[in-house]
Chain A
Amino acid sequence: MQLFIGGACAGKCDAVSERFPAARWHRLEAGTRLPDWRETVVAEVPLVVTGWADWIEMALSDEPDDDRLREQLVAALEALVAVERERGTTVIVILPEMGRGIVPMAARLRRLRDLAGWLAQDVAELADAVEYVRHGLVKSLK
């Protein structure tokens, strides 16, 4: 698994497209269950998964408990890692960095920011490579 993380409009998608031109892209649909990756993954074709923040934002209303929401996300990541191993492919996770500003006034935005931060840590832990994208430039962190 590889993580590409960076701020809003930092150039993450362009960086991933350049690195993985043949990849399939899967955008998580807000308001749906996290998918069963077994059906999504094509053997030996890199899979890019985006839309995590939008998915979390919708899930905040359904799941008031942050720990349980984080567990759901970790389960999805572990399923991705398993499928990656079984199907001989690479999964690329794109995440927004949103933790560097002042604490947001809106409780909802604070929860989103917390969950996005935890998710980034959880992905980075599982990932073989972590790339930080800043103003279109890419730095390898792991």
Chain B
Amino acid sequence: MIVFVSGGARSGKSEVAERLARDCQRAHGGALYYLATAMASDVEMAARIARHRRDRGSEWCTREVPLALGEALDGIEPGSCVLLDCLTLWASRARFEAGYHSAAGLAQFEALLVAARTRPLDLVVVSNDLNEAALPQDAATRDYVAFLQRLHRTLAREAERVVEVVAGVAIDWKSPHA
């Protein structure tokens, strides 16, 4: 199963996503993987990562997400549950560090979804909702938001479950039980 969890900053989306990942893992057995996109670029970021890691507990196997996102599930055994947190950061690294074009980035992301289906394993993807603000009008920001939204629309279409998180509360937009 593929699950998409998104919301604003500090909306509690990571906690909701972790709970959903644990539910998947409890239902199917298998290992719990945490694919981290955040890199400690300064002290505040390092503290943020340490806090997340502490909150998650020790049952998670943590890995860093490669820029080649399509390879992120390589070596992870079938039946595992994988949490990717968060897609927004990967998207900005893909655009601004690796210089991926929109189509190349989308292809990497689609390869990740195909890998999750064929392995098979459960994949929970966390991302930020950034597109409902008065956006800065420079071309780079607009291109980035357009790219991120292509990923989000693809994910929402492919996922069995789509969840919006507001103040820690999960609102279902798409559910296998609906």
**Do A and B come together as binding partners?**
yes
Binding site for B on A (CB under 8 A): 6-11, 97-102, 104, 109-110, 112-113, 116, 134-137, 139
Complex Cα distance, B137 from A112, in Å, reads 12
Q: Contact between A137 and B133 (Cβ–Cβ < 8 Å)? A: no
Which among B4, B149, B155, B164 has the greatest number of chain A C-beta atoms within 10 A?
B149
Q: Contact between B173 and A101 (Cβ–Cβ < 8 Å)? A: no
Q: Contact between B173 and A139 (Cβ–Cβ < 8 Å)? A: yes
List 5 additional contacts besides A7-B149, A104-B136; criterion CB under 8 Å.
Answer: A7-B129, A10-B149, A10-B153, A11-B153, A99-B132
Answer whether residue B62 sits at the interface, using C-beta atoms and an 8 A cutoff. Answer: no
Answer whether residue B63 sits at the interface, using C-beta atoms and an 8 A cutoff. Answer: no
Residues of A within 8 Å of B142, CB to CB, are 8
- Given known contacts A8-B145, A9-B145, A135 and B134 CB-to-CB distance under 8 angstroms: no
Q: Contact between B156 and A98 (Cβ–Cβ < 8 Å)? A: no
Q: Contact between A97 and B153 (Cβ–Cβ < 8 Å)? A: no
Residues of A within 8 Å of B116, CB to CB, are none
Residues of B within 8 Å of A116, CB to CB, are 134
Q: Contact between B156 and A135 (Cβ–Cβ < 8 Å)? A: yes
Q: Contact between B174 and A101 (Cβ–Cβ < 8 Å)? A: no
Which among B4, B131, B133, B157 is the interface contact of A9 at CB below 8 angstroms? B131
Interface residues in B, total, Cβ within 8 A: 26
Question: Which 10 pairs from chain A and chain B are nearest by CB?
Answer: A101-B133, A7-B131, A9-B149, A7-B132, A136-B153, A135-B156, A100-B132, A113-B134, A135-B152, A8-B131
Instruction: Write the B118-159 contact mask toward A (1 if CB under 8 angstroms, else 0).
Output: 000000000001111111110000100110011011011100
Can you sample 12 A-B contacts with CB below 8 Å? A7-B131, A8-B145, A9-B153, A10-B132, A10-B149, A11-B153, A99-B132, A101-B133, A101-B134, A135-B4, A135-B173, A137-B173
Complex Cα distance, B132 from A55, in Å, reads 19
Residue on A with the closest CB to B6?
A135
Q: Contact between A109 and B137 (Cβ–Cβ < 8 Å)? A: yes
Complex Cα distance, B32 from A106, in Å, reads 45
Residues of A within 8 Å of B149, CB to CB, are 7-11, 135
Give B173 Cβ to nearest chain A Cβ, in Å: 5
Give B86 Cβ to nearest chain A Cβ, in Å: 14
Which among B133, B135, B152, B155 has the greatest number of chain A C-beta atoms within 10 A?
B133
Q: Contact between B146 and A134 (Cβ–Cβ < 8 Å)? A: no
Answer whether residue B8 sits at the interface, using C-beta atoms and an 8 A cutoff. Answer: yes
Residues of A within 8 Å of B146, CB to CB, are 8-9
- Given known contacts A135-B149, A139-B173, A104 and B132 CB-to-CB distance under 8 angstroms: no
